[in-house]
Amino acid sequence: MPEDEGSYRNYINSSGFAFQLGVEEEIRSSKSEHGWDLVAREHFWSLDEDTEGYADILIENGNVRLIIECKRQAGKNWVFLVDSDLQNSVMPMLWAVTANPYTGDHRGRSAMMWDRFGIKPQCYESAFCTMQGQSGHDRPLLERTASESILSVEGIAAQESARCETLNENDDWIEKSRIYGGVIITTAKLVACITKGKDVDVIEGKLKDDGPRFETVKWIKFKKALKSTIEQERDRNESLFGLARINKQQERGVFVVNSEFIGEFLKNFAMANDRITQAYYPAVARMNAALEKLQREV
């Protein structure tokens, strides 16, 4: 059968590239509402010969960069199991600092670390996501995508840090302190199954009929131990030891956002600066201390 424009359109739609362009346009056209700049598409990053890829979209606002992956999932529902006892406003983000390379005869130096930042607006968080067509024997789609997102965040942070280290006085200066995070934007409907352990029948291994409640959400935090090449800073207020501490330090996360609410998510995204968050999660203080140490060593 000869191909026609309908066939060509199906090729493009099935690839997801058109969705990516649509997301870009949504971000660009709503900038006056959220303030984020779209700075790159299909950005190549590399950590080593075996770990490299392309980030769909890069956006920035001040010293915060978000690395966006687009996932078109036509007619799909992503259902997240949300433990109502394990919710907070904290999100793992990667910070990078670079000492001013203009001082003295030395190159600039950088440091990078995952840390826990208070993020607004608050939303549900989950370590479990299931969807139609997902086999129990396969590694979940979102887990794979989130792991790739974390590595892309690290690769891009390393790229920018390397550029900062080699700047000279005739180059445009990049912020000394930068914060990076991963975002997955999808057409899938996002559903939170809000429950507790007592809502599970341990004999059948299933949720009780009258236990959980379901809620459609605009965005959600997906947090768990994911593949990473950069350490996470230990919170000095944390009292965990042994394997519990290791598990917490392995925790990484990405935001998962339904594509209908891209502009609203970006408009509301902010680093929390309230007193309680600052007291318990002083990531900014640790980031600034690392920068000061590098400056003294340059």
Write out the DSSP string of 68-93: EEEE--TT-EEEEEEETTS--SEEEE
Backbone angles phi, psi at 26, to 5 degrees: -65, -40
14 C-beta neighbours (distance < 10 Å), count: 11
Q: Which residue bears the tokens 């956002």?
A: 257
The distance in angstroms from the start CA to the end CA of the chain is: 68
Calpha distance 251→246 (Å, rounded): 9
Calpha distance 181→178 (Å, rounded): 10
Best CA proximity match to 231, nearest among 153, 115, 149, 116: 115
The pLDDT of residue 292 is 73
HSE (side-chain half, CA atoms, 13 Å) at 37: 8
Calpha distance 266→285 (Å, rounded): 24
Strand 64-71 to 177-186 pairing: parallel
The pLDDT of residue 59 is 97
pLDDT digits (tens, 9 = 90+) for 11-28: 888 778 999 999 999 999
pTM as predicted = 0.86
The pLDDT of residue 106 is 44
**Does residue 212 have a cis peptide bond before it, meaning omega lies within 30 degrees of 0?**
no
Calpha distance 22→26 (Å, rounded): 6
The pLDDT of residue 229 is 86
- The segments of the chain whose pLDDT lies below 70 read 1-2, 100-108, 133-138, 165-175, 233-241, 272-284, 295-298
3-class secondary-structure state, position 166: coil
Best CA proximity match to 259, nearest among 205, 222, 219: 219
Segments of 231-274 assigned E as strands: 251-258, 270-271
